[in-house]
């Protein structure tokens, strides 16, 4: 049953990739729709194959200084796919497949930041280098039993740091380094509402595999993650609607869809560690933070992240990861050694979570800038808009 549950969860995470492509396509100009869809689906080939070639080994096999695994199993050579992986109780093949979906989804989350503003060859090389230098080390650091942050006690149930802060900051780096600062006139988003709603539905459904599947077995933590995921999304949706009514005097479909996504992002790191009421509050807090960033700070800073990838995934991911230090409780999950601040645990877990957020932000920020700067030097003036979908 556990293996079957995890295969179903992997399929649900798979659905999130076309879900994010459809969601983004509802916001962008018509000329960028095909490129958004192309880049997202391309990740199954680029990130998927790279995971099999070296990614799984680098992330979850062996250990070097708590920062990276090993490179001994190219193309999974020497890996016994039928034996159980670690203490998961799952066949290695099932665990590998589930983690592979995360490695494919994460670059699909941030590529919308540049849409058709970069050539396809730049996207391919960026995803390869980003995976090798950022994603695989971070997955090892946070999720491997020997990882640096895992050993420190940082809790990230389903990817607040590894996926959402990572993707959000990467999108911000791409937007800042590859797009000119934008002069906003407080214009409203006009797009395809049906695509936005359909993308939101696919993401929400896929998120159950994303969060509940991270329990790695069909147990109470998986069921709790299912509930907390739902509650946070609902509270984020309603919170965004209230904020739009108060500060914009109107509510919108794109707004409530965005609010639900912010709630889903915010609950991801703590979904298996917090109560239903904790999830309700996390959904509200995350959405307020993202709303403020998207509707005020982004304009003040002239950021050209026009899909608000950092505003949604980065900001809500940061808030959600910190909130684990406030709301986590061992009454939900015995892996919580120190309860969160509001459950009598003091500031110990909160301090650890803050450090985890700071480390992740600095690591992704520094390495992301280095990768983009290096590729800009390599390609020089050959990064601009791709006129066709051909590799020229």
Predicted pLDDT of residue 28: 86
pLDDT (tens digit per residue) in 172-228: 999 999 877 655 555 554 679 999 999 999 999 999 999 999 999 999 999 999 999
Under 8 Å CB-to-CB from 122, ≥6 apart: which residues? 375, 379, 382, 383
Is the confidence at residue 304, as pLDDT, over 90?
no
Residue owning tokens 């051909």: 390
Tokens, residue 246: 């108060």
Is 266 a domain residue? yes
What is the C-alpha separation between 114 and 187, in angstroms, rounded? 20
What is the C-alpha separation between 128 and 130, in angstroms, rounded? 6
Percent pLDDT > 70 in the chain is: 94
pLDDT (tens digit per residue) in 259-271: 999 999 999 999 9
Is 390 a domain residue? no
Is the confidence at residue 29, as pLDDT, over 70?
yes
Is 388 a domain residue? no
**Average model confidence (pLDDT) for the chain?**
92
Length of the chain: 392
Predicted pLDDT of residue 99: 97
Model confidence at 390, in pLDDT bands (50, 70, 90)? very low
Is 391 a domain residue? no
Model confidence at 388, in pLDDT bands (50, 70, 90)? very low
Is 217 a domain residue? yes
pLDDT (mean) for 336-364: 97
Under 8 Å CB-to-CB from 309, ≥6 apart: which residues? 109, 110, 112, 113, 167, 168, 171, 172, 175
Please state whether 77 falls in left (phi above 0), alpha (psi between -120 and 50) or beta.
Answer: beta
pLDDT (mean) for 152-170: 97
pLDDT (mean) for 346-374: 97
Is 37 a domain residue? yes
Which CATH number fits the domain that encloses residue 225?
Answer: 1.10.3430.10
Is 385 a domain residue? no
pLDDT (tens digit per residue) in 32-81: 899 999 999 999 999 999 999 999 999 999 999 999 999 999 999 999 99
Closest by alpha carbon to 140, among 53, 63, 52? Answer: 63
Is 65 a domain residue? yes
Is the confidence at residue 116, as pLDDT, over 90?
no
Is the confidence at residue 237, as pLDDT, over 70?
yes
User: Which residues form the domain of 12?
Assistant: 1-379
Is the confidence at residue 370, as pLDDT, over 90?
yes
pLDDT (tens digit per residue) in 78-107: 999 999 999 999 999 999 999 999 999 999
Instruction: For the beta carbon of residue 145, count every other beta carbon within 10 angstroms.
Output: 11
Looking at the 3D structure of the chain, how many domains does it have?
1
Give the 3-state secondary structure of residue 374. helix
DSSP string, 103-136: HHHHHHHHGGGTGGGS-HHHHHHHHHHHIIIIIH
């Amino acid at each position: 049953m556990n293996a079957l549950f995890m295969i179903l969860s992997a399929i649900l995470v798979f659905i999130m990739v076309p879900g994010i492509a459809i969601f983004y396509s509802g916001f962008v100009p018509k000329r960028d729709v095909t490129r958004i869809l192309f880049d997202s689906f391309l990740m199954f080939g680029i990130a998927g194959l790279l995971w099999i070639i070296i990614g799984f080994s680098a992330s979850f096999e062996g250990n070097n200084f708590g920062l990276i695994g090993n490179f001994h199993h190219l193309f999974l050579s020497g890996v016994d796919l039928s034996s159980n992986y670690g203490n998961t109780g799952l066949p290695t093949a099932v665990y590998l497949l589930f983690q592979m979906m995360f490695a494919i989804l994460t670059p699909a989350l941030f590529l919308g930041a540049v849409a058709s503003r970069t050539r396809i060859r730049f996207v391919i090389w960026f995803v390869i280098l980003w995976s090798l230098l950022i994603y695989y080390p971070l997955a090892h650091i946070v999720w491997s039993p020997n990882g640096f942050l895992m050993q420190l006690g940082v809790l990230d149930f389903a990817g607040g740091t590894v996926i959402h802060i990572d993707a959000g900051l990467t999108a911000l780096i791409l937007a800042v380094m590859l797009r000119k600062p934008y002069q906003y006139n407080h214009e409203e988003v006009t797009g395809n509402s049906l695509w936005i709603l359909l993308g939101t539905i696919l993401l929400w459904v896929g998120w159950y595999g994303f969060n509940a599947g991270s329990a790695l077995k069909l147990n109470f933590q998986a069921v709790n993650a299912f509930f907390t995921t739902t509650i946070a999304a609902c509270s984020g949706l309603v919170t965004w609607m209230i904020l739009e009514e108060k500060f914009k005097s109107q509510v919108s479909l794109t707004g409530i869809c965005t609010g639900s996504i912010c709630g889903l992002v915010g609950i991801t790191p703590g979904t298996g560690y917090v109560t239903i009421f904790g999830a309700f509050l996390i959904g509200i807090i995350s959405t307020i933070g993202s709303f403020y960033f998207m509707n005020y700070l982004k304009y003040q800073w002239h950021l050209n992240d026009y899909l608000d990838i950092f505003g949604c995934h980065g900001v809500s991911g940061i808030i959600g990861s910190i909130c684990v230090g406030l709301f986590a409780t061992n009454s939900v999950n015995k892996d919580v050694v120190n309860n969160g601040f509001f459950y009598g645990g003091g500031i110990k877990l909160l301090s650890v979570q803050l450090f985890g957020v700071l480390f992740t932000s600095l690591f992704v920020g520094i390495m992301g800038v280095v990768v983009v700067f290096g590729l800009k030097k390599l390609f020089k003036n050959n990064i601009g808009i791709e006129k066709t979908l051909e590799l020229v």
